[in-house]
A and B are shown apart, each in its own frame.
Chain A
Amino acid sequence: QTVVTQEPSLTVSPGGTVTLTCASSTGAVTSGYYPNWFQQKPGQPPRALIYSTSGKHSWTPARFSGSILGDKAALTLSGVQPEDEAEYYCLLYYGGAQRVFGGGTKLTVL
């Protein structure tokens, strides 16, 4: 069974920079996995932030960016704001019906 791994939790200071990663049990993550990133705040549905590794939706704040770092997909927040405190999930595409979410990273802004 394919497992997608994210850091369970991270803490960042306001104004700081933090990178969240997304690893696959099958090996290196590439752009062919179409990494997606989502933000979810308590009591709300998730919101799409990043598609196809680094694409931004029209509503995605400029401080969010996506990339491939080494063998993982990555989401970097630069100039973190208090409102960025949330759970972040990545999603990888493995072909056909095989798409797997990571376990999520709880980001605390402190």
Chain B
Amino acid sequence: EVQLVQSGAEVKKPGESLKISCKGSGYSFSNYWIAWVRQMPGKGLEWMGIIYPGDSDTRYSPSFQGQVTISADKSISTVSLQWSSLKASDTAMYYCTRYKEGGYNIEYWGQGTQVTVSS
């Protein structure tokens, strides 16, 4: 059974750094693209970026380029999303998603990680 298990909710202050994670299991982790999706409170879904764990090929949506960093550690089947300096506007639910073979279609979703940034 394919599973994407995300790290727990975070409460941070503006300016702090943060790294959240997504651990894949039940499949060959290196061979499937994983993307991150943001959902701000009461709003729709926003596609942030994608990584291929096999070679860490990473691509960012123009809206998120330079704002976050996506990385992968094959040894622990984990993809991460990190911020160097959080803003209140980063408050959102973040989902990791696994693509089907080929990298065009999302198949599985993680349970989500709530990030709250408040002074």
Contact = CB atoms under 8 A, between A and B. Distances in A.
A99 interface: yes
A54 B104 CA distance: 13
A97 B104 CA distance: 11
A38 B110 contact: no
B59 A91 contact: no
B106 A93 contact: no
Nearest to A102: B44
Secondary structure at the B interface, as helix, strand, loop or mixed, is: strand
For chain A, which range describes its interface: under 10, 10 to 19, 20 to 34, or 35 or more residues? Answer: 20 to 34
A48 B61 CA distance: 21
Interface in B76-114: 95, 100, 104-112
Given A52-B104, A97-B60, A97-B61, A47 B45 contact: no
A104 B44 CA distance: 6
Interface stretch (B13-21, B23-31, B46-54): B46-54
Interface in A88-108: 89, 91, 93, 96-104
Interface of B: 35, 37, 44-47, 49-50, 59-62, 95, 100, 104-112
Interface of A: 34, 36, 38, 40, 45-48, 51-52, 55, 57, 87, 89, 91, 93, 96-104
